[in-house]
Chain A
Amino acid sequence: MRMRSLISPIVALLALVGIAHAQPAPISITPDLIAAAKKEGRVAWYTSVDVKVAEQLAKAFETKYPGIKVQVERSGAERIFQRIGQEYSSRIYTVDVVDSSDAAHFVYYKREDMLQPVVPEDVAKHFAPAYKDPDGMHAAWRINLSVIAYNTQQVKPEDAPKSFADLLDPKWSGKIVKAHPSYSGTILTSTFQISRDLGWQYFEKLAQQRIMQVQSAVDPPNKVAAGERAVMADGNEYNAALLRSQKAPIEIVYPAEGAPLVIGPAGVMKRAPNQNAAKLFYTWLFTVEGQQMLLDVALLRSAHPGVKEPPGRKPLSEIKVMKDDAAEVDKQAEEIKARYTRLFKT
């Protein structure tokens, strides 16, 4: 009895100290960190960014820090989430750094105490509060939009859909490709935002349009560029932009209702097997160099104010976007997937 009454003030005190240190000291890339990371020699990165982008980032990191190998594990964000769950429940701790196009995953990881606080210097100094976790568990590594796009050989600009509502026109029946929210975090996020803003009636009608169902948000731009379908109802802005820059016949449409905004956080796992390499890689991802690569290599968008916009691109501030709400996606994810499956049959 006495012990207990003694312990609780101590616990309270410790908690207080804990709160005082909740935002951990920012870390920078020091020679010590590099040396320790080199001793580990490898870092496993579970990512949902397009595999070609991921491999280029990995190569840039490996060139900068020779002796540290980046193992890229790329799949859809929902798949990665499922796999980490599956591996962790079997006590397999392979993943060091994880990112997701479904910000709700980080709500889950944080709640389940799977992350450790790591605050890269750049995040501490430059990132707006909306783009970082107050406890330093994660930060917005990349920003993406889900957009509409069309094949310029099959559709004239004046006939192209301007809004989500336009896609419900019978003339698009059999001509639309879209990705799947059970695979892609981008699509789960966009399905949430669209259903919130336009209502599920939109999807009920879209499901009548004989759509081609692919999995990854990377894929609809591929299918449109190849001419397999004339229009995509959702998919990555950056892949469409990359294909356009390679002279593929694809044009992006920012829907009138607003483009779903997909903030993709990253974080370091608490049980990361390569603690130092994980911190080094994670910190590097948020440097101006790492963030600028997102723009230059991938045509993604960044929350780092220090990066230079690629010439000729519409800046995020001029695009009407939907509001993101990771906490709500976390609550509704299962329901959204189930409802989607009922409507679209797969």
Chain B
Amino acid sequence: MTAETLATGVGQRARHRFGSVDPSLLVLAATSILLVLLIGLPVGWLAYYALTDRAGAATFGNFITLATDPAFTEPLATTLILCVSVAVAAATVASPIAWLIARTDLPARRTIRALMTASFVTPPFLGAIAWEILAAPNSGILNQLWRGLTSSPDPLLDIYSLPGLIFVIACYTTPYVFVLVANALDRIPADLEDAAGILGASRWRTTITVTIPLVVPAILAGALIAFLQAMTLFGSPAILALPAGFHTVTTKIYSFFHFPPKPQLAAAAALPLLVITIMLLVAQARVLGRRGYTVIGGKSGDPRRLALGRFRTPALILVLCVLSLPLMLPYAALLKASVSSFPGAPFTAEHLTWRHINFVFVEFSQTKKAFWNTLVLAVGTATLGTMLALVISYLTARRAVPGSRFLEFLATAPVAIPGIVLGVGLFLAYTRPPLALYGTLWILLLAFLTIELPVAFQQLRSSFHAVHPELEEASRILGAGRLKTLARITAPLLKSGVVAAWCFIFIGVVRELSAAIMLFTANTKVLSVVIYDLNESGDLGAIAVLGTVMLLITFAVVGFANWISGVGSGVRLRGG
């Protein structure tokens, strides 16, 4: 008996034995194993390295070394200050804007929502570089204008500082808070506000006593995401903090890989980030669990819009000013830098140049490969990730199989793993046989899949809750199996959710730097890494060209995905 016939025999027997047991059990088993491997392997290796010395003997020495070294404890303290400041700033700025968009008659609300989404597409490291061009203390465009206007010798802004870093990170985390709060405001049923009105409360009073308290959980959730983003970002601190002479935890972890590499210390340094993240997520679950605002989600009349009256125009101007910080100003700076002989050059004919564009498209041998790798990875991860998230959210939303709660946990768990930590873990896990994936695109695919899974899962799970199971039941009564039903009935009904999840992953992969920087090799460079490399030698013109093209491609792909699926502008950001 050959191995093949044996396998067939076993397969047949299995089919006989389980008879009509549907194959979703197998799907569940396969998905679980995949997820456990995906997350367990890198985290396991991290833990192992953190707890061993160079010779492989068990030790707490790595933690002791870090805890007693100011070169690590100072960055840790800086990181905590950074995270709290960013969370507070993002929540303070985003919540009123979300309220203005969702609950008042502010003009151009749809456009502003779309622009907020656009700032989500902007990679934070690109935003940081653009802000270097704008607000480097001496050569920055804004500081030059300021000096010209006031003839003051001191700069208006110094982006190379902790406040500068907080500002730039807050710029690109504000959209997360905005989207969560705006969506929550959308979903607050009008009845509650009506009730307050009937009881004699004024519109303003209703807003303050009813509406705002109802979105507090969303604000908290948004602040938490901002906190975690600030803690896990690598590019922005590497670009803005190092010139100022300080580290954050992520840049410190990266520096542990400088020759001679100290993976043990890197692994040990990664664990505090992991612990903080898990603690925060648990705390959030506790807080929200106790308050239980389940009213959100009911279906009733349109939300009441507050008339702003004479504040309409000032409010619009204020919102546009805020939007110019992550969007208009940086984009303008990038466009200018891409055709200027140097970023801060006066905008005159003699300083206009094709040099950077020529360099990027003609001379620079990395361009083609980096774009190709990025596209392949983004499309591949988005497609695989959406499929995986679809299966998991189906199994969990329909409680199709026992153990689905465990799956739910696994699919959300990567939220607790910062990109650079995952990068270190994957590097440790996949640089050895049997899975020596380092040096291939596969290891990057695994990293991106793990990082992006929670967002896609959250998106699709909430979509599933909106589709009534009776349509699926009808299909199954007519004889279709579970998977066929999923493909034929459920998926089409979920189209907008699926497209949104796909776009999220696509955007997420394009802007990912912190894991990629740990995992790339010469043949597997992605755009974010190339841009980061160029920044280290200060080639801002080339970065401006590459960054602009990268943004255009992202917008084009996202637009195309929406167009072919006929979803139109219906894709809306969901929190995750």
Chain A interface residues (CB < 8 Å from chain B): 44, 46, 50-52, 55-56, 58-59, 69-76, 78, 81-83, 85-87, 89-92, 94-95, 180, 182-183, 210-216, 218-219, 222-223, 225-229, 246, 248, 334, 337, 341-342, 344-346
Per a CB cutoff under 8 Å, which of A44, A50, A91, A228 touches B137?
A: A228
Please list 15 pairs of residues, one from A and one from B, whose beta carbons are closer than 8 Å in the complex, sorted by A's number: A51-B539, A52-B539, A70-B365, A78-B259, A81-B259, A87-B522, A94-B523, A212-B244, A213-B242, A214-B242, A222-B342, A226-B343, A334-B260, A341-B71, A346-B246
A78 to B255, CA, bound (A): 12
Q: Indicate if the CB atoms of B160 and A219 lie closer than 8 Å.
A: no
Binding site for A on B (CB under 8 A): 71, 74, 136-139, 160, 241-247, 255, 257-261, 341-344, 359, 363-366, 431, 436, 438-439, 521-523, 533-534, 536-540
List A contacts of B260 (CB < 8 A). 334
Q: Would you call A90 and B343 a contact (CB within 8 A)?
A: no
Asked if A346 and B242 sit within 8 Å, CB to CB, the answer is yes
Secondary structure of the B side of the interface?
loop
CA distance A205 to B344 in the complex (A): 31
Contacting pair B261 A212 (CB below 8 A) = no
A239 CA to B261 CA, complexed, in Å = 30
Chain B residues with CB under 8 Å of A226's CB are 139, 342-344
A51 with B247: CB separation less than 8 A: no
Pairwise interchain contact A94-B245, C-beta atoms closer than 8 A: no
Task: Chain A residues near B344: list those with CB within 8 A.
Answer: 226-228
CB pair A89 B243 closer than 8 Å = no
CA of A112 to CA of B259, assembled, Å: 15
- Assuming the A-B contacts A82-B257, A225-B342, A228-B136, are A58 and B365 also in contact, with contact meaning beta carbons closer than 8 angstroms in the complex? yes
Is there contact, CB below 8 Å, between B431 and A90? yes
How far apart are the CA atoms of A135 and B492 in the complex, in Å? 69
- Closest residue on chain A to residue B257 by CB atoms: A82
Q: In the complex, what residues of B have CB within 8 A of residue A92's CB?
A: 438-439, 521
| A78–B258 CB distance below 8 A | yes
Chain A positions within 8 Å of B342 at CB level: 222, 225-226, 248
Contact present for B245 and A345 (CB under 8 Å)? yes
State in angstroms the CA–CA spacing of A344 and B136 once bound together. Answer: 20
Chain A residue with minimal CB distance to B137?
A228
A80 to chain B, nearest CB (A): 10
Cross-chain contact of A219 among B261, B533, B536 (Cβ < 8 A): B536
- C-alpha spacing A201/B255, complex, angstroms: 25
Contact residues in A for B436 (Cβ distance below 8 Å) = 90-91
Question: In the assembled complex, which residues on chain B have CB atoms less than 8 Å from the CB atom of A222?
Answer: 342, 537-540
Residue of A nearest to B344 (CB): A226
Which residues of B are found within 8 Å of A75, using beta-carbon distances? 533, 536
Bound complex: CA A301 to CA B521 (Å): 31
The reply to whether B259 and A85 form a contact with Cβ atoms under 8 Å apart is yes
Residues of chain A lying within 8 A (CB to CB) of residue B521: 83, 87, 92, 94
A46-B365 in contact given A85-B261, A225-B342 (Cβ < 8 Å): no
Further pairs besides A89-B431, A211-B245: 16, Cβ < 8 Å: A51-B539, A55-B359, A82-B259, A82-B261, A83-B521, A87-B521, A92-B439, A213-B244, A214-B242, A214-B538, A222-B537, A222-B538, A229-B138, A341-B255, A345-B247, A346-B245
Residues of A within 8 A of B438 (CB): 90, 92
Closest to B533 in A: A75
Task: Give CA–CA (A345, B243) in the complex, Å.
Answer: 10
Whether A71 and B538, one on each chain, are in contact in the complex, defined by CB atoms closer than 8 angstroms, is: no
A92 to chain B, nearest CB (A): 4
- Asked if A212 and B139 sit within 8 Å, CB to CB, the answer is no
Q: With A90-B431, A227-B344, A346-B246 as given contacts, are A51 and B71 in contact (CB-CB < 8 Å)?
A: no
Q: A182: nearest residue on chain B (CB-CB)? A: B258
Which A residues are CB-close (under 8 A) to B138?
227-229
State the 5 A-B residue pairs at the shortest beta-carbon distance, nearest first.
Answer: A219-B538, A216-B537, A222-B538, A228-B139, A92-B439
B365 touches A55 (CB 8 A): yes
A215 to B238, CA, bound (A): 10
Q: Which residues of A contact B242 (CB under 8 A)?
A: 180, 213-215, 346
A337 / chain B contacts, CB cutoff of 8 Å = 258
Chain B residues with CB below 8 A from A44, complex form: 522
B536 adjacent to A76 (CB under 8 Å) = yes
Measured between alpha carbons, how far is A338 from B34 in the docked complex, in Å? 41
Alpha-carbon separation in the docked complex, A212 to B243 (Å): 5
Q: Which residues of B contact A76 (CB under 8 A)?
A: 536-537
How distant is A45 from chain B, measured CB to nearest CB, in Å? 10
For the complex, what is the distance from the CA of A86 to the CA of B365, rounded to whole Å? 23
Residue in contact with A182 in the complex, picked from B244, B255, B366, CB distance below 8 Å: B255
- Measured between beta carbons, the chain B residues less than 8 angstroms from A210 are 245
Query: In the bound complex, how far is the Cα of B538 from the Cα of A89, in angstroms?
Result: 30
Give the chain B neighbours of A346 by CB distance below 8 A. Answer: 241-242, 245-247
Q: How far is the CB of B357 from chain A (nearest CB, A)?
A: 13
